[in-house]
């Protein structure tokens, strides 16, 4: 598979219309159709279901679409970094979960951008599985991982910050009167849990004998949308501190859980990867920032 043909395929998969894709690529429609047909012959699979004026991806086409986007992103990143060896330039990509510790990361990135204006920064938000997959395929330089997770396959640097688990609720909820929330307080309540915490059974021990009385109505991947559900009084949210707006102007407030549960924050990268100049710069500045504390 040639990169040029993969680019043609991705454009066609995005447009789901051969004419629009050809216009986007600045090629003729017959030439594009021929390239896609040749790609299908090469792979021995059908990539598109062809309908009048419209295309849909087959399961094989959907799989190739996801893989091709990763391949093209990695190719562009590699080319950019190779072309910027004379000075610190190129792209720095970080996959990260939501944490107050990201403020340290953002401070470092802000200083790098100020010192090296040609550097491009890309932040991808997601949970551990998302960040790990991006790191493994090479489309990100670093991942910021929240929690005590298996990291033996990676180089790592733990940040000083820790996140504290608690319950997000509206300010008129009866639990607002409490300084901290116990599992007994959540019995009979609708609870929205972190997708990562739910999948890894973080709270099973903390729930204890109340586990069957706590109604987990669903999960969130990133906290903002879960916050909207809390605002609608549909549920309380088990979440980390300092992620939601709990200022005087907000209708939300946060109470830590008891017994207390905290999470470490770790920056990881691949052992076997030769870091680009800008990635080395970021890592050096991160280490210096931690040493200063």
Residue range 87-161+264-292 in CATH 3.40.190.10: yes
Which parts of the chain sit beneath pLDDT 50?
A: 86
CATH number attached to the domain at 3-80: 1.10.10.10
Dist. CA 34–CA 5, nearest whole Å:
11
> Are 154 and 135 spatial neighbours (Cβ–Cβ below 8 Å)?
yes
Give the right CATH number for 162-262 from 3.40.50.1110, 3.40.630.30, 3.40.190.10, 3.40.50.2300. Answer: 3.40.190.10
For residue 83, the model assigns a pLDDT of: 62
For residue 256, the model assigns a pLDDT of: 98
Dist. CA 7–CA 20, nearest whole Å:
14
How many CA atoms within 13 Å lie on the side-chain side of 207? 20
Angle in degrees, CA 83, 94, 113, rounded to 5 = 60
DSSP 8-state assignment for residue 200: T
Dist. CA 112–CA 106, nearest whole Å:
10
Dist. CA 290–CA 156, nearest whole Å:
13
Q: Which residues is 120 bridged to in the sheet?
A: 91
For residue 76, the model assigns a pLDDT of: 83
Q: Which long-range CB contacts under 8 A does 52-59 form with residues at least 24 apart?
A: 53/17, 54/16, 54/17, 55/12, 55/16, 55/17, 55/18, 56/16, 57/13, 57/16
Dist. CA 261–CA 165, nearest whole Å:
6
Structure tokens at 64: 């190739």
Query: pTM to 2 decimals?
Result: 0.71
Dist. CA 147–CA 149, nearest whole Å:
6
Say if residue 259 is preceded by a cis peptide, omega within 30 of 0.
yes
Dist. CA 25–CA 20, nearest whole Å:
9
For residue 81, the model assigns a pLDDT of: 65
Domain ranges within the chain, ordered by starting residue: 3-80, 87-161+264-292, 162-262
For residue 87, the model assigns a pLDDT of: 64
Per-residue CA distances from 291 to 109, 161, 277 (Å): 17, 13, 21
For residue 73, the model assigns a pLDDT of: 86
pLDDT in tens, 89-146: 889 999 998 998 899 999 999 999 998 888 999 999 988 889 989 998 889 999 999 9
Asked if the domains at 87-161+264-292 and 162-262 fall in one CATH topology, the answer is yes
Dist. CA 206–CA 155, nearest whole Å:
31
């Amino acid at each position: 598979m040639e990169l040029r043909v993969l680019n043609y395929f991705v454009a066609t998969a995005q447009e789901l219309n051969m004419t629009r894709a050809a216009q986007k690529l600045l090629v003729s429609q017959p030439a594009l159709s021929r390239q896609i047909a040749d790609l299908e012959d090469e792979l021995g699979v059908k990539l598109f279901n062809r309908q009048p004026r419209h295309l849909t991806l087959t399961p094989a086409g959907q799989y190739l679409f996801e893989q091709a986007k990763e391949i093209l992103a990695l190719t562009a990143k590699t080319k950019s970094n190779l072309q910027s060896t004379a000075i610190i330039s190129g792209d720095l990509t970080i996959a990260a979960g939501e944490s107050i510790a990201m403020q340290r990361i953002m401070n470092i990135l802000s200083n790098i951008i100020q010192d090296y204006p040609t550097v491009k920064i890309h932040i991808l938000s997601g949970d551990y599985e998302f960040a790990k997959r991006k790191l493994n395929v090479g489309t990100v330089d670093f991942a910021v991982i929240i929690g005590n997770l298996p990291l033996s396959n990676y180089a790592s640097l733990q940040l000083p910050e820790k996140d504290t688990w608690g319950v997000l609720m509206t300010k008129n909820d009866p639990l607002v009167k409490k300084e901290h929330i116990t599992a007994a307080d959540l019995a009979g309540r609708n609870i929205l849990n972190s997708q990562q915490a739910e999948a890894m059974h973080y709270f099973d021990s903390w729930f204890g004998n109340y586990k069957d009385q706590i109604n987990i109505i669903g999960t969130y991947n990133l906290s903002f949308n879960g916050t909207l559900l809390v605002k609608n009084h549909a549920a309380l949210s088990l979440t980390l501190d300092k992620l939601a707006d709990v200022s005087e102007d907000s209708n939300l407030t946060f109470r830590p859980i008891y017994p207390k549960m905290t999470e470490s924050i770790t920056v990881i990268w691949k052992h076997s990867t030769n870091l680009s100049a800008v990635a080395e710069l970021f890592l050096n500045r991160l280490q210096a920032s931690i040493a200063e504390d």
